[in-house]
Chains A and B, each alone.
Chain A
Amino acid sequence: MNMMSEAAVEKALDKKMNDISYKMIGKDVSVYYGDKRALYDVNLNVRENTVTALIGPSGCGKSTFLRTLNRMNDTIDGCRVTGRITLDTDDIYDQNIDVVELRARVGMVFQKPNPFPKSIYENVAYGPRIHGLAKSKADMDAIVEKSLQKAGLWNEVKDRLQEGGTGLSGGQQQRLCIARAVAVSPEVILMDEPCSALDPIATAKVEELIHELRANFTIVIVTHSMQQAARVSQRTAMFHLGNLVEENDTDKMFTNPDDQRTQDYIMGRFG
């Protein structure tokens, strides 16, 4: 057995604590929808292999921020983003960035499960195919199986891969969407209220999944459920009126937050 001295363990732990590597760095990020400003100079870094929860009341800018991370805002007319967001060292708003490739690296799962009107197999295989990730049918089969396994859906669907994805239950559809996101081997997965349309059991399965996915992916999740943020994340960021109010360890955030606005929001109080 490898016995480490107490001091050595302490040192290793310290090193781990100090070794925070940021997967994505957002610097002075502002977003405008036409004349309306939705985000004000947000500085928020996303830690690698960590679940970061974005919370805040409706219209606070948390989904807007989430969407800047894979340029989903590009699809909205009149939307303008300023500031700088990097994925590893790449500026994702650089002119030379291929947005399709960016979205393969930063995948997304939406509020409502939105499987393609195709078979379960095709739902998962679609991404890898357009990105040319599989060289053969066997390759693709392996990717589909692995992705469905990662999404905790394999055992439930392995005998009916050719059936339609829309025939699954809501919770299964959402996990299918997660499998679809996972299939292109992204580095970051963005989730926009992934459980708000699911029942508590399906929610628990997705939360369990988030916990497992964290080992291989960096996850940013927007949720209206404070309890969910407390359960699934390690870091929590609180938004209010387009500002980042506080970002902290989740444990601290839900027991003793620094900011009064966070306190009022998570406790369900009037400000």
Chain B
Amino acid sequence: MSSTHIVSIYDEELKYLSRRISEMGGTAEQMVADSVRALVTMDVALAQKVISEDVILDNAERQINDKAIVTIAKRQPMAADLREIMGTIRIAAELERVGDLGKNTAKRVIAVQSSGMPRKLARGLEHLAELALIQLKEVLDVFATRSVDKAKAIRERDDEIDAIYTSLFRELLTYMMEDPRNITPCTHLLFCAKNIERIGDHATNIAETIYYMATGSQPEGERPKDDTSTSVVAADVADASE
């Protein structure tokens, strides 16, 4: 934004909101990274740390919403300012959800730690998490720069995450079919994979919101999807693993 408001406090209020979003983004990013590290290294202490940090995001979201509501009431924002504030509210909610997903993954560390995890599976999860974290990090950078092109690019890349998630889904199903004792840890890991995949979706939602904030219109066309796990059945997996 090139120009500033005649009422300078208004600028400060908007800056406060965007600074708090960046802070929330940093916290959410760290929580997700820690939760996945806790999962692949079976680090219960790190998992506990993630669980305890969720409240930071919950509080931040509440504070952002309160400030946004007061700003709307006081300034009666128009056009780009109005979109900015509404976008802030939406992004805060997305980031709060990202924190919840990290927390949920961390909680499952305790459940799966006893059974251990096959190395190959851990690598798959790590790779999935890497991609989701890149999405999250980039979307937070886009929030700072408001680059419409980059927001669009992020939105179009979510299908990579979906594809890896689908392959992990198949893999986990295979392990479960091989040995019923794998069912408990693999079910937890399935949820973990889903959590991470959802983080990618939230990053995409944020990218769409930023696009709207910058342009005033919704990005056109459906976002690309490559999550075919909804149609995977046991017979497919059995055929494939033979």
Assess the B3–A256 pair: CB atoms within 8 A: no
Query: Is B150 interfacial (CB-CB < 8 Å)?
Result: no
Chain B residues whose C-beta falls within 8 Å of the C-beta of A269 in the assembled complex = 3-6
Give the residue name and chain of the B residue nearest to A264 (CB).
B3
- Of A226, A264, A268, A270, most buried by chain B (CB within 10 Å of CB) is A268
Q: Are A266 and B78 in contact (CB under 8 A)?
A: yes
Which residues from 1 to 19 on chain B have a C-beta closer than 8 Å to any C-beta of chain A? Answer: 3-7, 10
Asked if residues B3 and A254 are in contact (CB atoms below 8 Å), the reply is no
How far is B78's CA from A270's CA once the two chains are assembled, in angstroms? 15
Interface size on A, residues (CB 8 A): 15
Please, what's the 1-or-0 string for A85-119, where 1 marks a CB less than 8 Å from any CB in chain B?
00000000000000000000000000000000000
> What string of 1s and 0s marks CB contacts (under 8 Å) between B74-112 and chain A?
011111111100000000000000000000000000000
- List chain A residues, Cβ under 8 A from B76: 226-227
Say whether, besides A227-B76, A267-B77, A255 and B6 are in contact (CB < 8 Å): no
Measured between alpha carbons, how far is A255 from B215 in the docked complex, in Å? 10
> Could you tell me how many residues of chain B have their Cβ less than 8 Å away from some Cβ of chain A?
18
Q: What is the distance, in angstroms, from B195's C-beta to the closest C-beta of chain A?
A: 35
Is B230 an interface residue, CB under 8 A from the partner?
A: no
Does B241 reach chain A (CB closer than 8 Å)?
no
Interface pair B10/A268, CB less than 8 Å apart: yes
Docked CA distance A8–B6 (Å): 50
For window 63-83 of B, CB contacts with A under 8 Å fall at 75-83
Contact partners of B5 in chain A: CB under 8 A: 267-270
User: Cβ of B10 and Cβ of A254 under 8 Å apart?
Assistant: no
Complex Cα spacing A269 to B14, Å: 13
Within 8 A of B (CB), among A127-161: none
| A34 interface residue (CB < 8 Å to B) | no
Whether B26 sits at the interface, judged by CB under 8 Å, is no
Structural contact, A268 and B80, CB atoms closer than 8 A: no
Do A254 and B79 have beta carbons less than 8 Å apart? yes
CA distance A131 to B162 in the complex (A): 76
Let me know if B79 and A270 touch, CB within 8 A: no
Q: Shortest distance in angstroms between A133's beta carbon and chain B's nearest beta carbon?
A: 42
Q: For residue B3, which residues in chain A have a CB less than 8 angstroms away from its CB?
A: 264, 269-271
Which residues of chain B are near A271, meaning CB under 8 Å? 3
Q: In this assembly, does B216 line the interface, its C-beta being within 8 Å of a C-beta of chain A?
A: yes
- Does the CB pair A256–B216 fall under 8 Å? yes
- Chain A residues 227 to 271 lying within 8 A of chain B, measured CB to CB, are 227, 230, 254-257, 263-264, 266-271
Q: Which 4 A-B pairs have the closest CB atoms?
A: A256-B216, A266-B78, A269-B3, A267-B81
| CB-defined A-B contacts under 8 Å, sample of 16 | A226-B78, A254-B79, A254-B82, A255-B79, A255-B83, A255-B216, A256-B83, A256-B217, A257-B79, A263-B80, A266-B78, A267-B78, A268-B75, A269-B5, A269-B6, A270-B6
Q: A226-B76, A256-B217, A263-B79 are known; give 6 further A-B pairs, CB within 8 A.
A: A254-B78, A266-B79, A267-B5, A269-B3, A269-B5, A270-B4
